[in-house]
Structure 1
Amino acid sequence: MSQKKNDRVAILYLSYDGLMEPLGQSQVFQYLRELASTGSYDITVLSYEKKADWQNVARRRAVKEQVRAAGLRWVPLRYHKRPTAPATAYDTFLGILVGSFLCWTRGIRIVHARSYVASVVALALKWAFGTRFVFDMRGFWADERVDAGIWRPRSALYRATKWFEQHFLEHADVVVSLSRAGIEEMRKFPYLRDRQPAFEFIPTCANLEMFQVPARPTVANATLTIGYVGTAIGWYVFEPTAVAFKRILEFQPATRFLILNRDEHDYIRAELRRQGIPEAAVEIKAVEHRDVPREMARMDATVFFIKPVFSKKASAPTKLGELLGCG
């Protein structure tokens, strides 16, 4: 017998990543769709959508229908990028206002916050409404910003974010980490010695109904296709990838490179030119998340490099599980 609607646990899921982004599709929607399908949870998703994504009316309608069909409720807010601190403060304030309305009208019992900005909202709601707070940290965000060269070490933004991180860890009912190594690092934090939160290890997911080993015949002397998926900046370093492409070409001159990337095509082309890789050997394209498995099926192997830095101890590359699912 299915659970009565008013018996379902009311959950507010907060994500500073948009549901219309590939990351929102793979790492937010896929989880929540499965949870909603159990009939045990009444889930409202509050996300921050980028302007360029929101202006794609056809895509917006498709995501709305996708969310509705999954039995989820979607409350999209506009994401503001600049100036950084005031824009983020505004987004946070608006999130608290809208989140408060949802807690009041929907009887929210659990607030699941994806990463740090969303957790500021969640902590405010916990103090105001007594909701349980799940801190889904996604990695050591402040340290990731430093390691990616976005923030300066010991800058005001870094110190403020670490202050918030401490409060999230001290007041969360549950802390979700993408890696066991991240949990071990947090257990060593001096301020958690006397009060260890409940830690849960939940790595990034891959929908194996989408990401499957392609059914294609083996062709003798077929052209080798090497792939690259995702961002090429920050803690992913593209320069050694370009060097690897160059070395592969030296041994297999007919090799082709297929790169799936949204916004960094000019940078990628510049790095490839610097290594002397001919443009004819490379295909760079941006695709919707639903089309990524089809493109991965064209790849024989993939290459990517991550900076060996402290912050990455608490992270897990989303694309790894998806690539493994494709064989």
Structure 2
Amino acid sequence: MAVRALYVTWDGPQVSYLEGLFLPIFAGLRAHDIEIDVLQFTWGPQAYLERQEQVCDESGVVYHRVIVPKAAGGLGSYLSAVMGSKRILQLRKDRHFDVIIPRSVMPAIATLHADWRRSAGRAPMLFDADGLAIDEKVDAGQLSPSSLSYRMLKWYERSAISAAAAVIGRTERACEIYRTYDAQPRQDKYIVAVNGRDPTKFKPSAPAERELACRRLEIDPLAPIIVYSGSFGEKYCPLQMFQLFRAILQLTPNARFLIMSGSPEDVLTYVRSQHPDLIPALNIKSFTSGEVAGYLAVADLGICLYKDTFANQAFQATKLGEYLLCGLATAGTANAMRFGLSNASFARTISTMSQDELQAVAHWFVNDVLPARTSIRNQARDFGLAHLTTDKTVSSYAEAIKRAIEYRSN
């Protein structure tokens, strides 16, 4: 008999984690006899809400929703999580789940309250911690570590880690931090699951495909193309990112920078105020999850910069796997360039982000990567296949679900 799991997530229209990252994982779990329902706390326009339901239906995933009144602010979000616990209780009763999997802190609050409302017969919790979300808000200046909100949210985070039958982290360092929060840590409780991607979708493009995509982007197919994909903001070191591109542009003036972000207007506002002279060499776009891979594959170099913060010890950049599987050379900070990439010929780790170091990376790209593009593409792809595929993520989730159920049954 298949294991039934409820995945509880909290996503707004500015991100596509459910569609782009998790639905492929849930599809892969069926081979392990694990069926997933999704309960999404969300908000946004009707077209977005309908899209979420549609993509789940197309993936064979049963979809449930709780609307979060974003106008109410932080308190409204907290109350939505608490009240959403009733929905978890009802779904647990109706659908007979073997395990509940909240992703990050707000879904964990809803799951904890569901357990506190009725402890008898509850399903074990597998906490998909997915980084250090509360500390990310501190790093971004959105939350004070001395505030009541911070202390309350950290209490919930620690409670979820302690109450969980198993915990998923994105890195070994993340799991080490979670253990310090755990009232009763067990040796087998923590499982690392990378943000793997589907190699049948994220793959190098054939020459004809690349040329067609470049024409759609109005980029010369012969131009060296640098790409950045993902959210945009101070966390991602925009100053150094554009300094690196400027250094490349000085060496190869026909280079172009493709920036793919869910908030292209924020990127353009930043560029106009900080780097207006670069605008003719930029291509700023927003694509659906299904379009991203095809346009990534036209590039020669992927940028993966993150600030060196406490929270960034616990994340694993999704874009890293996307870049490598598409055959891109990659330059990024040490907190993003894991898996031994510092020794790879197709990658460069940026440590100080000084002007001299960025200049050195630009010279490496122009003098070493571009002349050996075919070899670099194959090496990057092979590395991605070895470390960052959806299959590897699926295996980790299957093992974590198994451990959670076995622990509760013992």
> TM-score by structure 1 length?
0.87
For residues 119-149 of structure 1, the C-alpha deviation after alignment (integer angstroms, 9 at most, x for no partner) is: 1112223342421001100111111111122
For residues 33-75 of structure 1, the C-alpha deviation after alignment (integer angstroms, 9 at most, x for no partner) is: 111354x2332110123313x3348xx35x5444234332101
- 1:302 lines up with 2:302 in the alignment: yes
2:204 alignment partner AA? V
Over 6 Å off, 4+ runs: 217-221
1:119-138 to 2 correspondence within 5 Å?
A: 119-127=108-116, 128=118, 129-138=121-130
Task: Give unpaired runs (5+ residues) of structure 2.
Answer: 212-219, 328-410
Alpha-carbon shift at residue 82 of structure 1 (Å) = 3.2
The 2-side partners of 1:171 and 1:221 are apart by 54
> TM-score by structure 2 length?
0.71
**Coordinate RMSD, CA, aligned:** 2.5
1:216 alignment partner AA? P
Count, aligned residues: 315
Change (3 A) 1:90 1:248: same
SS of structure 1 residue aligned to 2:203: coil
Structure 2 equivalent of residue 103 of structure 1: 92
For residues 206-230 of structure 1, the C-alpha deviation after alignment (integer angstroms, 9 at most, x for no partner) is: 1111101212279999211111111
SS of structure 2 residue aligned to 1:277: helix
Q: State whether residues 197 and 322 of structure 2, in contact with CA within 8 Å, keep that contact through their aligned partners in structure 1.
A: yes
Structure 1 equivalent of residue 41 of structure 2: 48
Structure 2 equivalent of residue 93 of structure 1: 82
SS of structure 2 residue aligned to 1:209: coil
Bigger shift: 22-31 or 202-211? 22-31
Change (3 A) 1:130 1:326: same
Structure 1 equivalent of residue 351 of structure 2: none
* Greater fraction helix: 2
Task: Give unpaired runs (5+ residues) of structure 1.
Answer: 1-6
- 1:153 lines up with 2:152 in the alignment: no
For residues 83-115 of structure 1, the C-alpha deviation after alignment (integer angstroms, 9 at most, x for no partner) is: 322221232134212111101111122100111
Structure 1 equivalent of residue 162 of structure 2: 170
Q: Percent identity?
A: 23
Bigger shift: 259-268 or 240-249? 259-268
Structure 2 equivalent of residue 3 of structure 1: none
Q: State whether residues 23 and 59 of structure 2, in contact with CA within 8 Å, keep that contact through their aligned partners in structure 1.
A: no
Alpha-carbon shift at residue 194 of structure 1 (Å) = 6.4
1:41 alignment partner AA? I
Alpha-carbon shift at residue 273 of structure 1 (Å) = 5.1
The 2-side partners of 1:70 and 1:227 are apart by 29
Q: State whether residues 264 and 284 of structure 2, in contact with CA within 8 Å, keep that contact through their aligned partners in structure 1.
A: no
- 1:31 lines up with 2:46 in the alignment: no
SS of structure 1 residue aligned to 2:70: coil
- 1:230 lines up with 2:223 in the alignment: no
Q: State whether residues 3 and 34 of structure 2, in contact with CA within 8 Å, keep that contact through their aligned partners in structure 1.
A: yes
1:287 alignment partner AA? F
Alpha-carbon shift at residue 253 of structure 1 (Å) = 1.2
The 2-side partners of 1:132 and 1:221 are apart by 53
SS of structure 1 residue aligned to 2:36: strand
